[in-house]
């Protein structure tokens, strides 16, 4: 059984483990007999023991640009299918990736739903992540966020993960990093869940210190527009879709105090362009107050959960599953059904036309929602023929430029009503093959074509 007190700053964060005491023989004779018998029992037990699970936590030591020397641990469940989703799970101060793996429910949820989990480990003093330096608070600035982005790229390259389904969840220092990552890399992360965090740039310092007492104490109060401006300044000029955010905080948090929750709500409602007035308020569990902004659905643009009477000790049991549901990962990852089997169709249809010349082409894509409910936050995945490389695009963000591409809707067209269509497209170079992708998927399920 694991008990963890999760804090930042001067308070110690730790895990304590209770071990069952071994049975002690009452007589010396029994001790002698056991000395003879135990080696034989060990051999027998090895012979009949069940095989270990195929999935285990492994360390990756060379994953790309890593200016601050982070460590990377990876959990790939046995049930991960093709193009699996990725979750980055970020630990608290004094913690580590392996400790967060052992002390949270994300790995067991990955076993159930087939997504890959990345566990970064901070290596600076106190094992806190850098969320305060100028380098950390801008895209590709040269600190911890760069290393974490490299980890995501490593998994995409080596495991063929879906670049349109990358998420991040963190606790305390990891929650602050969640806010930072969503601001610095809105084109990488689809959504985040921050357990006991503070807004992006709230912890900023200029004296080299990693601790900002005013922010931690909840006394930094800015307008939604000011908070939103700090996020936008992390990636100047970016105009694509922004990730959704789920926020958690205990009302009695004495480490990163509760007023920070309202400041986070101010920031992300402004960034996502939704009203600060809740679209819905409910209590999904005793002592919880949940507010949703921008819509009342399970995957609202912003969702905040206040936990009454609780201090700096999240996530508690069951909360990780709520985050996974917010991400939309609470169903088995679709896998390739094999030759001769038609995949389950999604509620979408794609029309694709091209106009080619010498070494270039223009592609026009029309995505139609054929379902009966809105298609929210869509990402359209397809594989370009060999030799085609996207040079520019419109109506969506495209990543990467060749091979297995994901086109993600922008803020103005990310939601398609039933029966509605959106037209997007791109220009590409080619080396002779001007053909079309053979299939298109939304959320891992195949769209109809024509």
| Residue 80: pLDDT over 70 | yes
CATH second-level architecture of 57-327? 3-Layer(aba) Sandwich (3.40)
22-36, 235-249, 256-270, 430-444: least confidently modelled range: 22-36
48-52, 143-147, 386-390, 417-421: least confidently modelled range: 48-52
Q: Give, in order, the Cα–Cα distances in Å from 303 to each of 164, 168, 246, 282, 315.
A: 21, 15, 5, 11, 15
Question: Residue 41's pLDDT is what?
Answer: 35
Q: How many CB atoms lie within 10 A of CB 139?
A: 18
Q: Which among 68, 96, 172, 379 is annotated as catalytic?
A: 172
151-155, 194-198, 407-411: least confidently modelled range: 407-411
Percentage of the chain surpassing pLDDT 90? 64
Whole-number Å distance between alpha carbons of 290 and 278: 10
Question: Residue 391's pLDDT is what?
Answer: 92
Residue 344 bridge partners (DSSP): none
Q: How many CB atoms lie within 10 A of CB 365?
A: 23
The 10s digit of each residue's pLDDT in 97-138 is 999 999 999 999 999 999 999 999 999 989 999 999 999 999
- What would the CATH number be for the domain defined by 345-449? 2.60.40.290
Query: For all residues of the chain together, what is the average pLDDT?
Result: 84
Question: Residue 129's pLDDT is what?
Answer: 97
User: In this predicted model, which residue has the larger pLDDT, 11 or 373?
Assistant: 373
At residue 209 the predicted structure's pLDDT band, cuts being 50, 70 and 90, is confident
Phi first, then psi: give them for residue 101, nearest 5 degrees. -60, -45
Q: Are β-strands 166-171 and 86-90 bridged in parallel, bridged antiparallel, or unpaired?
A: parallel
Active site residue 295: no
**H or E element at residue 408:** strand 404-409
Question: Residue 81's pLDDT is what?
Answer: 82
At residue 406 the predicted structure's pLDDT band, cuts being 50, 70 and 90, is confident
Question: Residue 3's pLDDT is what?
Answer: 39
Q: Which residues contact 59 (CB under 8 A, 6 or more apart)?
A: 71, 72, 73, 74
The 10s digit of each residue's pLDDT in 331-369 is 743 333 333 333 334 588 999 999 999 999 999 999 999
Name the token pair of 318. 């069951």
How would you class 148 by CB atoms within 10 Å of its CB: exposed for 0-12, middle for 13-18, buried for 19 or more? buried
The 10s digit of each residue's pLDDT in 254-306 is 999 999 999 999 999 999 999 999 999 999 999 999 999 999 988 999 999 99
The 10s digit of each residue's pLDDT in 172-191 is 999 999 999 999 999 999 99
Q: Residue 197: name the closest of 6, 49, 50 by CA.
A: 6
**Terminal CA-CA length for the chain:** 55
**H or E element at residue 416:** strand 415-416
At residue 381 the predicted structure's pLDDT band, cuts being 50, 70 and 90, is confident
What global pTM score does this model have?
Answer: 0.65
The 10s digit of each residue's pLDDT in 148-159 is 999 999 999 999
Q: Give the domain ranges of the chain.
A: 57-327, 345-449
At residue 443 the predicted structure's pLDDT band, cuts being 50, 70 and 90, is low
Question: Residue 418's pLDDT is what?
Answer: 87
């Amino acid at each position: 059984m694991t008990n963890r007190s999760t804090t930042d700053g001067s308070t110690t964060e730790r895990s304590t483990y209770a071990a069952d005491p071994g049975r002690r023989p009452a007589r010396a004779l029994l001790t002698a007999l056991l000395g003879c018998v135990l080696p034989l029992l060990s051999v027998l037990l090895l012979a009949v023991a069940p095989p270990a699970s195929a999935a285990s936590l492994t360390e990756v030591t060379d994953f790309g640009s890593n200016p601050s020397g982070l460590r990377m641990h990876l959990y790939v469940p046995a049930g991960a299918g093709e193009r699996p989703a990725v979750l980055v799970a970020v630990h608290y101060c004094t913690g580590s990736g392996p400790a967060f793996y052992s002390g949270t429910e994300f790995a067991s949820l990955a076993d159930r739903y087939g997504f890959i989990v990345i566990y970064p480990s901070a290596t600076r003093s106190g094992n806190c992540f850098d969320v305060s330096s100028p380098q950390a608070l801008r895209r590709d600035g040269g600190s911890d966020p760069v290393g974490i982005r490299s980890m995501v790229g490593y998994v995409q390259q080596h495991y063929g993960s879906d670049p349109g389904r990358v998420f991040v969840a963190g606790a305390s220092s990891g929650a602050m990093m969640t806010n930072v990552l969503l601001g610095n890399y809105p084109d990488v992360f689809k959504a985040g869940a921050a357990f006991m965090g503070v807004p992006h740039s709230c912890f900023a310092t200029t004296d080299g210190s990693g601790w900002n007492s005013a922010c931690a104490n909840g006394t930094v109060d800015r307008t939604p527009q000011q908070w939103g401006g700090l996020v936008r300044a992390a990636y100047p000029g970016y105009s694509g879709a922004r990730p959704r955010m789920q926020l958690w905080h205990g009302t009695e948090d004495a480490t990163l105090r509760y007023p920070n929750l309202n400041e986070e709500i101010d920031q992300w409602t402004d960034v996502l362009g939704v009203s600060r007035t809740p679209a819905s308020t409910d209590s999904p569990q005793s002592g919880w107050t949940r507010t949703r902004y921008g819509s009342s659905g399970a995957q609202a643009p912003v969702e905040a959960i206040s936990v009454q009477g609780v201090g700096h000790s999240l996530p508690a049991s069951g909360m990780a599953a709520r985050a996974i549901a917010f991400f939309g990962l609470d169903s088995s990852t679709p896998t390739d059904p094999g030759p001769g089997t038609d995949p389950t169709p999604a509620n979408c249809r794609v029309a694709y036309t091209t106009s080619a010349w010498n070494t270039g082409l223009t592609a026009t894509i029309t995505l139609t929602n054929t379902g009966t409910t809105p298609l929210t936050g869509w990402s359209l995945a397809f594989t370009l023929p060999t030799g085609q490389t996207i040079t520019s695009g419109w109506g969506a963000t495209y990543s990467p430029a060749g091979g297995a591409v994901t086109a993600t809707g922008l803020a103005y067209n990310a939601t398609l009503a039933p029966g509605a269509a959106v037209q997007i497209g791109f220009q590409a170079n080619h080396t002779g093959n001007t053909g079309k992708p053979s299939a298109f998927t939304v959320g891992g399920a195949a769209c109809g074509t024509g």
